[in-house]
Amino acid sequence: MGFLSSLNFLNPFALILAAAVPSAILLLYFLKLKRREVPVSSTFLWLKAIDDLRVNSPFQKLRQNLLLILQLLIALGVALALARPAANVGGSEGHDLVLVIDRSASMSTRDGGPGNPTRLERAKEEALRLIDDLSIGDRAMVLGFADTADQLQNLTDVKGMLRRAVAELEPTHRGSDLHDALAFAASLTKTQQGRQPEVVVFSDGALENVAELPESDLPVRYVRIGEPAGVKNFAITGLDRRRSLEGGDIYQIFVEVANTGDEDGVCGISLYLDDHLIDAKEVDLKAGRTASVLFERPSLTEGIARVQLEGEDWFELDDKAWTILTPQRLLEVLLVTADGNYFIHNILRIDPLVDSAALKRIAPEEFKAAESGIGDYDLVIFDRTSPGEALPPGSYLFLDAVPLAEGLGLMDAVEHPDIVEWDESHPATRFTDLSLLAINTAHPIQIRTGDRVVLQSTAGPLIVEPDDPTSRSLILGFDIYQTSWPLQSSFPIFFANVLRWLSAAGAEQRGSQVRTGDTVRVPLPKQGATAKVTGPDDEVHEIEPGRPEEQMATFSRTDLVGIYDVEGAEGGFERFAVNVLSRSESDIKAREQLTLRDKRVAGEAKAEERNREIWWWFAAVAFAFVLFEWWIYNRRVYL
Amino acid sequence: MADETTTTDPAAGKGASVPTVPVVSEGPILDADFIGRLSKLDIISRKIFQGKIKGEKRSKRRGQSVEFADFRAYVSGDDLRFVDWNIFMRLDRLFLKLFLEEEDLFVYILLDGSKSMQYGSPSKFHYARKIAAALGYISLVNMNRVGIGAFSSQLDTVFSPTRGRRHLHRMIKFLEDVTPAGGTDMREACRRFALEHPQPGVCIVISDFLDRNGYDEAIKYFAARKLDIHLIHVMADEEVDPPLVGDLRLVDQEDGDVTDITVSAPLLRRYKANLEAFIESIRSYAARRGIGHVFTTTSRPFDELILRYLRERKLLK
């Protein structure tokens, strides 16, 4: 019984055969089909022999039907083999599996070089193997994840549906974050009482945001897909472009190239502008090292710039990156100030981006949001004066002032707050060092959840980007005059950053190049307008504002790398580029262990099956019967 | 021709007079070379037979002939021509000279022409026909009267008793024209043949004896006639050792009777035992009644059967 209770049938439908085929054989026997007619001189000697035989042995019927019995046994053996009997070697029945398949960019790696299957294809194979391995009573669900998770198949025991779900899994070019998938599996535990699902992750283990994974005590298995060592890959991990510091309308393009493989090598980098090669460089990169390359050519003023790594490696997606070079447009800035601000005024005046002729200064009492025509300005700066009314969508900079919004405000003044930290990843603080910023008096900013703190002091946030879906603004909780800032090098850089980020030009710049999975905000010409985005795969997406009153639509289907064309957006926003630019995705070495929030899971090079298939055993028995029957038939030796 | 020693080289001497032997589908019934060797043979009659004319056979019956046999005392009514006057002169008693009377012999050949004889390769019928032709030829060249009857469910055709080598061609033609057809009813056929041919002689029945009604009733008609009877039992190799395998539907060639069998070793054993018993029953039947019996299969070389086997069985000399 011990053996029988651990016996499963992975394809129980074949057992129907086991019933059907023998019945058919029996039917044929009873119908006496297929009897070959043989003329003989006389049957009377035979009749006598048959009669004698019948008299002599009561089991003659049985004996005569030995071939029939053998055929039944053969059919039974074949049917049992087709039912794929398997000995359960992995514990109890009634398992629930959550098959979590990584379809992030790195899963497009072809281990061993071009021509080999991608990691996703191999992950699918492994998943299919586990699905085949499911016993009666087992269930599974299929999740695909990149930076988010999608449920492709709900919990079911129908293998066909599971197989289809796995087969339909499409690769993405996004990053990989297991958070959603694990949360999903955890929620499943709550709804399926008594059955704790087992999570099987098919991945190369390159996960982002591991620390933010939900806590769970679910058993997790990690099926490692891909080579853990000996990989070959050069990657573009960074791409940026900015106006040349010497002014003018020439762009500089910064490329960060990493050798994420295990071999040292020389990597050729080519720069194309609108598909014309305009520059090429070479870097000698040791394994694991990163190099920066700067391209600066007079022709880099407008167009689609494409950086491409030459040569073949295992992972192609990070060998190309695009950025959009937009022609320069001068900004119109409105400065709302009571008595003028010398530093700000001069900063604006000398910045080549700002149309100094159109620079306008008005007193706070003159400012009326509805009348001042502030929608025409690319940027409005409030200097030490908070607007008394709600502002239309736009770009705003508040100096020692706050916009009118619930929960936002300036706290009481504090003396000499010390700088604790600043958000180096924020566009406004790039290339700046604010550690030496000395502030005499400041008004720390009262913030809401969702607001992003850019500069944190001992007294509280001093620079904040408020969470506002319609406008882009930055709040400084201190007066420039009360600081040493104008005397420091970070001051002009910060304001140059702020101008580019807050202004429409900044919006273009920001939107013109994103990473896969990021959302792109598309400015619309008027309320209620829609735009069309055409992806690199020529799929057209219609986008519209999340709320009717907004003039901004969000596009989040940045699944693929390449150029996305935008139709119907406001002034000049015609296209944007989507790149991988991810160090973690480009690091294609498959991890030996899967690192989760609080545990490490050792990888299985092959998904371990719970059932050991023993169909060949039944097939062998059936074959033996076939041989036996053949021998008997030919030699007439039986009985 | 009293015995074979008087014969000169038969092949050379008689080859020319033998008509061209027709060829049938399974080969010639008789070939010239074989015919030559047959000429040395003669049919043995173990009983005394009285022929219609003084024939070449030495009869056991004492009568008018040149060969002296014995004397016996005269009784009134005896033909005075046979009184041995020399002895009367010496002994003064009347004795009659007895002579061995020479007479011709009737050889009857009954050939089974039922459909069952068609079985086998070569068919039993072809084999049986060759035997009939050979015996017929031997009889003709020895100046016996040969009568042949072909039967199936009845007596189909009859070759009336004929004497003389010149009828050889006609006899072979007759044998050729017989085609196996119909079932087997030996009883009726033998009864008719015995009625139509009352003269005593040698009667040779060539058959497979596969008659559902049995063969013994039939043979009785001849036994009652005091004929010298020989049974030549012909069976095909395929009947002795059936090359059958699997699930089969056996169809009786004669009556279309159908029997489903699954060939198995015990069935084959049983069949062979039955066949053995069948052959044995014929053999013992013949032995009990002083009937000659020869069993042969179609694989036995034909000339061996005729030249040696039948001589051993005292059918030929």
The shortest CB-CB distance from B250 to any of A32, A46, A53 is to A46
Q: Which of residues 514-543 of A touch B (CB under 8 A)?
A: none
Q: Is B280 exposed, middle or buried (0-12, 13-18, 19+ CB in 10 A)?
A: exposed
- With 90 as the cut, is the pLDDT of residue A44 above it? no
Nearest to A472 by CA among A571, A410, A551: A551
- With 90 as the cut, is the pLDDT of residue A461 above it? yes
Instruction: State what percent of residues in chain B have pLDDT above 70.
Output: 80
Pairing status of strand B258-262 against strand A409-410:
unpaired
CB B251 within 8 A of CB A42: no
Please list the residues that pair with A323 across neighbouring strands: A305
Top CATH class, A234-326:
mainly beta
Please list the residues that pair with B149 across neighbouring strands: B110, B158
Cα B308 to Cα B317: distance, rounded to the nearest angstrom: 10
The model's confidence at residue A424, banded by pLDDT at 50, 70 and 90, is confident
How confident is the model at residue A475, as a pLDDT? 93
Average pLDDT estimate for A123-134: 87
CB A109 within 8 A of CB A314: yes
The Cα-based distances of A68 to A46, A74, A101, A427, B262 in angstroms read 22, 10, 50, 84, 11
Average pLDDT estimate for B271-275: 90
Average pLDDT estimate for A419-426: 86
Q: Does A164 touch chain B (CB under 8 A)?
A: no
Quick count: other Cβ atoms within 10 Å of Cβ A1?
5
Nearest to B154 by CA among B126, B119, B196, B118: B196
- With 50 as the cut, is the pLDDT of residue B40 above it? yes
Give tens-digit pLDDT for A515-557.
888 888 787 877 778 888 998 888 898 888 877 777 778 888 8
- With 90 as the cut, is the pLDDT of residue A63 above it? no
**Dihedral sign (CA A192, A196, A201, A207):** positive
The shortest CB-CB distance from A38 to any of B244, B254, B270 is to B244
Instruction: Evaluate the omega torsion of the peptide bond into residue B200 and state whether it is cis, within 30 degrees of 0.
Output: no
Query: Quick check: do A96-228 and A333-508 share a fold?
Result: yes
- Choose from A30, A33, A43, A635 for mutation: most chain B CBs within 10 A: A43
Instruction: State what percent of residues in chain A have pLDDT above 70.
Output: 89
Enumerate the residues of chain A whose CB falls inside 8 A of the CB of residue B250: 38-40, 43, 46
How confident is the model at residue A510, as a pLDDT? 47
Cα A461 to Cα A414: distance, rounded to the nearest angstrom: 12
Calculate the CA A444 to chain-centre distance: 38
The model's confidence at residue B5, banded by pLDDT at 50, 70 and 90, is very low
**Dihedral sign (CA A510, A512, A515, A519):** positive
CATH 3.40.50.410 correct for A96-228: yes
What ipTM was assigned to the predicted interfaces of this complex? Answer: 0.70
- With 80 as the cut, is the pLDDT of residue A17 above it? no
Across the interface, whether the CB atoms of B271 and A49 are under 8 A apart is answered: yes
CA distance A639 to chain B (A): 7
The shortest CB-CB distance from A42 to any of B254, B258, B262 is to B254
Enumerate the residues of chain B whose CB falls inside 8 A of the CB of residue A639: 264-266
Average pLDDT estimate for B167-180: 88
How confident is the model at residue A297, as a pLDDT? 85
Q: Going by C-beta distance under 8 Å and a sequence separation of 6 or more, which residues neighbour residue A408?
A: A402, A445, A446, A447, A448, A451, A466, A475
How confident is the model at residue A92, as a pLDDT? 53
The model's confidence at residue A454, banded by pLDDT at 50, 70 and 90, is very high
Please give the full DSSP string across A26-55, using - where no structure is assigned. Answer: HHHHHHTTTPEEEEES-SHHHHHHHHHHHH
Across the interface, whether the CB atoms of A40 and B210 are under 8 A apart is answered: no
Nearest to A100 by CA among A136, A147, A151: A151
- Choose from B233, B238, B264, B281 for mutation: most chain A CBs within 10 A: B264
Enumerate the residues of chain A whose CB falls inside 8 A of the CB of residue B258: 43
- With 50 as the cut, is the pLDDT of residue B48 above it? no
Give tens-digit pLDDT for B131-172.
898 888 888 887 788 899 998 888 888 888 888 888 888 988
The DSSP code for A193 is: T
Give tens-digit pLDDT for A470-483.
788 899 999 989 99
b/e sequence A408-420, b meaning 16+ C-beta within 10 Å = bebeebbeebebe
Cα A590 to Cα A176: distance, rounded to the nearest angstrom: 13
Q: Going by C-beta distance under 8 Å and a sequence separation of 6 or more, which residues neighbour residue B276?
A: none
Cα A208 to Cα A583: distance, rounded to the nearest angstrom: 10
Where is pLDDT greater, at A552 or A505?
A552
- With 60 as the cut, is the pLDDT of residue A62 above it? no
CA distance A143 to chain B (A): 58
How confident is the model at residue A515, as a pLDDT? 82
The Cα-based distances of A48 to A52, A374, B212, B250, B257 in angstroms read 6, 119, 12, 13, 14
CB A354 within 8 A of CB A398: no
Top CATH class, B4-48+105-312:
alpha beta
Across the interface, whether the CB atoms of B251 and A38 are under 8 A apart is answered: yes
The Cα-based distances of A40 to A158, A559, B252 in angstroms read 58, 80, 5
The shortest CB-CB distance from A40 to any of B253, B270, B274 is to B253
Q: Which three-class secondary structure state does DSSP give residue B263?
A: coil
Domain positions in chain A are 2-88+615-635, 96-228, 234-326, 333-508, 517-579
Quick count: other Cβ atoms within 10 Å of Cβ A59?
8
Instruction: State what percent of residues in chain A have pLDDT above 90.
Output: 14
Range scoring the smallest mean pLDDT among A85-94, A268-277, A395-404: A85-94
The model's confidence at residue A445, banded by pLDDT at 50, 70 and 90, is very high
Look-up of token digits 């916009």: A403
Please list the residues that pair with A566 across neighbouring strands: A533
Q: Which three-class secondary structure state does DSSP give residue A320?
A: strand
Compare all CA atoms of chain B with the CA of A41 and give the residue at the minimum distance.
Answer: B116
Average pLDDT estimate for A555-566: 87
- With 80 as the cut, is the pLDDT of residue B47 above it? no
Pairing status of strand A520-523 against strand A552-555:
antiparallel
- With 90 as the cut, is the pLDDT of residue B54 above it? no
Enumerate the residues of chain A whose CB falls inside 8 A of the CB of residue B273: 49
How confident is the model at residue B23, as a pLDDT? 38
* H-assigned helices in A415-526: 490-502, 504-511
Tokens of A277: 């090669």
Q: Which of 1.10.3470, 2.60.40, 3.40.50, 3.30.70 would CATH assign to domain A517-579?
A: 2.60.40
Compare all CA atoms of chain A with the CA of B279 and give the residue at the minimum distance.
Answer: A45
Domain positions in chain B are 4-48+105-312, 57-103
- Choose from A25, A28, A34, A41 for mutation: most chain B CBs within 10 A: A41
Look-up of token digits 């702020």: A498
Tokens of B244: 């059958």
The model's confidence at residue B21, banded by pLDDT at 50, 70 and 90, is very low
Across the interface, whether the CB atoms of B249 and A634 are under 8 A apart is answered: no
Tokens of A42: 């006389």
Tokens of A584: 């973690």
Q: Phi-psi category of B142—alpha, beta or left, where left has phi over 0 and alpha has psi -120 to 50?
A: alpha
Across the interface, whether the CB atoms of B267 and A639 are under 8 A apart is answered: no
Cα A606 to Cα B144: distance, rounded to the nearest angstrom: 99
Average pLDDT estimate for A61-89: 75
Q: Which of 3.90.660.10, 3.30.450.20, 3.40.50.880, 2.40.30.20 would CATH assign to domain A333-508?
A: 3.40.50.880
- With 90 as the cut, is the pLDDT of residue A68 above it? no
Where is pLDDT greater, at A216 or A238?
A238
- With 70 as the cut, is the pLDDT of residue A361 above it? yes
Longest dimension (CA), chain B: 88
How confident is the model at residue A124, as a pLDDT? 92
The shortest CB-CB distance from B274 to any of A35, A40, A48 is to A48
How confident is the model at residue B157, as a pLDDT? 87
Q: Does A64 touch chain B (CB under 8 A)?
A: yes
CB A281 within 8 A of CB A247: no
Average pLDDT, chain B: 78
